[in-house]
Chain A
Amino acid sequence: MSDTKISSARERVLGNIRQSLKRSGPLGDSIQESLRARSDAHRAAVKPHYSEDPVDRFIIKLHAVSGVVTRVSSADEISAVVEDHVTRWKLAFDLVVAPDPALDDIVWSNRFKVERRAAIGSDQTSVTGAFAGVGETGSLVLLSSPRSPTTLNFLPEDHLIVLARSSIVAHLEDVWARLRAQDDPSVPRTVNFITGPSKTGDVEQIIHEGAHGPRRLHVILRDDR
Chain B
Amino acid sequence: MESQAHNFKQRADVALHDMELQKALGMLKGGLASKRSVAVAAMPEFDAVRDAGRDIKEHTLAHLDYYLEEFERNCVAAGGQVHWASSVEDAREIIVKLCADAAAKRVTKGKSMVGEEIGVNEALEAAGVDVLETDLGEYIIQLAGEPPSHIIAPAIHKTKEQVTELFYKHHAKHGKTDRVTEVGDIVNEAREVLREGFLSADVGITGANFLVAESGSSVIVTNEGNGDLTNTLPRVHIVTAGIEKVVPTFEDVSTILRLLGRSATGQEMSSYTTFSTGPRRADDLDGPHEFHVLLLDNGRSEMLGNEFHDMLRCIRCSACMNHCPVYGTVGGHAYGWVYPGPMGSVLTPVMLGIEKTNSLPNACTLNGRCQEVCPMQIPLPSMLRHLREREYTQRLTPAIARAGLAVWAFVAQRPKLYGLATRLAVKALSLLGGKKGRLRWLAFAGAWTDARDLPAPAGETFQQAYRKRMQAKSKGLGG
Binding site for B on A (CB under 8 A): 1, 6, 9-10, 12-14, 16-23, 26-27, 31-32, 35, 38-39, 42-46, 48-49, 61, 65, 99, 117-119, 121, 136-139, 144-146, 149-151, 153-155, 171-173, 176, 187-206, 208, 210-214
Would you call B468 an interface residue if the criterion is a C-beta within 8 Å of the partner chain's C-beta atoms?
no
Q: B233 → chain A, closest Cβ, in Å?
A: 7
Determine whether the beta carbon of A14 is less than 8 Å from that of B65. Answer: yes
Q: B108 → chain A, closest Cβ, in Å?
A: 11
The complex places the Cα of A211 from the Cα of B136 at a distance, in Å, of 8
Residues of B within 8 A of A190 (CB): 232, 274-277, 287
Do A213 and B153 contact each other (CB < 8 Å), given the known contacts A20-B305, A193-B274, A203-B183? Answer: no
Q: What are 28 residue pairs bridging A and B, where the CB atoms are less than 8 Å apart in the complex? A: A9-B86, A9-B90, A21-B65, A32-B66, A35-B67, A38-B248, A39-B249, A46-B255, A118-B286, A139-B269, A150-B232, A153-B228, A176-B254, A189-B287, A190-B277, A192-B274, A194-B271, A195-B267, A198-B271, A199-B223, A202-B136, A202-B153, A203-B186, A204-B183, A205-B31, A208-B183, A211-B190, A211-B226
Do A21 and B250 contact each other (CB < 8 Å), given the known contacts A6-B83, A139-B269, A154-B229? Answer: no
The complex places the Cα of A200 from the Cα of B194 at a distance, in Å, of 15
Closest 10 CB pairs of A and B: A213-B225, A45-B52, A211-B224, A16-B301, A20-B304, A202-B137, A191-B275, A193-B273, A118-B285, A172-B254
Would you call B279 an interface residue if the criterion is a C-beta within 8 Å of the partner chain's C-beta atoms?
yes
The complex places the Cα of A171 from the Cα of B257 at a distance, in Å, of 12
Would you call B473 an interface residue if the criterion is a C-beta within 8 Å of the partner chain's C-beta atoms?
no
- Given known contacts A23-B65, A195-B267, A195-B273, what 7 new A-B pairs fall within 8 Å (CB)? A13-B85, A21-B62, A38-B59, A189-B284, A189-B287, A192-B272, A198-B271
The complex places the Cα of A16 from the Cα of B244 at a distance, in Å, of 13
How many residues from B make CB contacts under 8 Å with A? 108
Do A212 and B69 contact each other (CB < 8 Å), given the known contacts A17-B304, A20-B306, A150-B287? Answer: no
The complex places the Cα of A22 from the Cα of B277 at a distance, in Å, of 32
Would you call B258 an interface residue if the criterion is a C-beta within 8 Å of the partner chain's C-beta atoms?
yes
Determine whether the beta carbon of B49 is less than 8 Å from that of A45. Answer: yes
Q: How many A-B residue pairs have CB under 8 A?
A: 275
Residues of A within 8 A of B43 (CB): 48
Q: Report which of B27, B271, B304 forms a contact with A205, defined as CB distance below 8 A.
A: B27
Do A212 and B251 contact each other (CB < 8 Å), given the known contacts A20-B304, A146-B283, A191-B274? Answer: no
Binding site for A on B (CB under 8 A): 24, 27-28, 31-32, 43-45, 48-49, 52-53, 55-56, 59, 62-70, 78, 83-86, 90, 93-94, 97, 134-137, 140, 153-156, 158-160, 163, 183-184, 186-188, 190-191, 194-195, 198-199, 213-215, 217, 223-226, 228-229, 232-233, 243, 248-252, 254-255, 257-258, 265, 267-281, 283-287, 295, 297, 301-306
The complex places the Cα of A45 from the Cα of B249 at a distance, in Å, of 12
The complex places the Cα of A150 from the Cα of B234 at a distance, in Å, of 13
User: Chain A: interface secondary structure?
Assistant: loop
Q: Report which of A137, A187, A194, A195 forms a contact with B217, defined as CB distance below 8 A.
A: A187
Identify the interface centre among B65, B83, B305: most chain A CB within 10 Å of its CB: B65
Q: B86 → chain A, closest Cβ, in Å?
A: 5
Q: Report which of B183, B268, B295 forms a contact with A137, defined as CB distance below 8 A.
A: B268
Residues of A within 8 A of B217 (CB): 187, 191
Residues of A within 8 A of B233 (CB): 151
Determine whether the beta carbon of A26 is less than 8 Å from that of B66. Answer: yes
Do A144 and B155 contact each other (CB < 8 Å), given the known contacts A44-B255, A187-B217, A206-B183? Answer: no
Q: B31 → chain A, closest Cβ, in Å?
A: 4
Residues of A within 8 A of B255 (CB): 44-46
Determine whether the beta carbon of A204 is less than 8 Å from that of B286. Answer: no
The complex places the Cα of A151 from the Cα of B195 at a distance, in Å, of 13
The complex places the Cα of A9 from the Cα of B91 at a distance, in Å, of 10
The complex places the Cα of A146 from the Cα of B65 at a distance, in Å, of 36
Determine whether the beta carbon of A1 is less than 8 Å from that of B229. Answer: no
Q: B69 → chain A, closest Cβ, in Å?
A: 7
Determine whether the beta carbon of A18 is less than 8 Å from that of B49. Answer: no
Determine whether the beta carbon of B243 is less than 8 Å from that of A173. Answer: no
Determine whether the beta carbon of A149 is less than 8 Å from that of B286. Answer: yes
Which A residue's beta carbon lies closest to that of B274? A192
Which A residue's beta carbon lies closest to that of B94? A1
Do A42 and B183 contact each other (CB < 8 Å), given the known contacts A1-B93, A189-B276, A211-B136? Answer: no
Residues of B within 8 A of A187 (CB): 78, 215, 217, 275, 277
Residues of A within 8 A of B78 (CB): 187
Do A213 and B228 contact each other (CB < 8 Å), given the known contacts A1-B90, A38-B248, A149-B286? Answer: yes
Residues of B within 8 A of A14 (CB): 65, 68-69
Q: A35 → chain B, closest Cβ, in Å?
A: 6
Residues of B within 8 A of A32 (CB): 66
The complex places the Cα of A61 from the Cα of B45 at a distance, in Å, of 18
The complex places the Cα of A172 from the Cα of B163 at a distance, in Å, of 38
Residues of A within 8 A of B70 (CB): 39
Q: A122 → chain B, closest Cβ, in Å?
A: 10
Which A residue's beta carbon lies closest to that of B155? A202
Determine whether the beta carbon of A39 is less than 8 Å from that of B93. Answer: no
Residues of A within 8 A of B306 (CB): 20
Which B residue's beta carbon lies closest to that of A18? B65
Residues of B within 8 A of A43 (CB): 251
Determine whether the beta carbon of B225 is less than 8 Å from that of A154. Answer: yes
Determine whether the beta carbon of A154 is less than 8 Å from that of B232. Answer: yes
Residues of A within 8 A of B248 (CB): 35, 38-39
Q: B125 → chain A, closest Cβ, in Å?
A: 20
The complex places the Cα of A19 from the Cα of B67 at a distance, in Å, of 16
The complex places the Cα of A31 from the Cα of B186 at a distance, in Å, of 55
Determine whether the beta carbon of B271 is less than 8 Å from that of A196. Answer: yes
Q: B186 → chain A, closest Cβ, in Å?
A: 6
Determine whether the beta carbon of B225 is less than 8 Å from that of A211. Answer: yes
The complex places the Cα of A119 from the Cα of B283 at a distance, in Å, of 16
Determine whether the beta carbon of A208 is less than 8 Å from that of B187. Answer: yes
Q: Report which of B55, B66, B224, B252 forms a contact with A198, defined as CB distance below 8 A.
A: B224
Determine whether the beta carbon of A213 is less than 8 Å from that of B229. Answer: yes
Residues of A within 8 A of B154 (CB): 202
Which A residue's beta carbon lies closest to that of B215? A187
Residues of A within 8 A of B232 (CB): 150-151, 154, 190
Do A146 and B284 contact each other (CB < 8 Å), given the known contacts A1-B90, A1-B94? Answer: yes
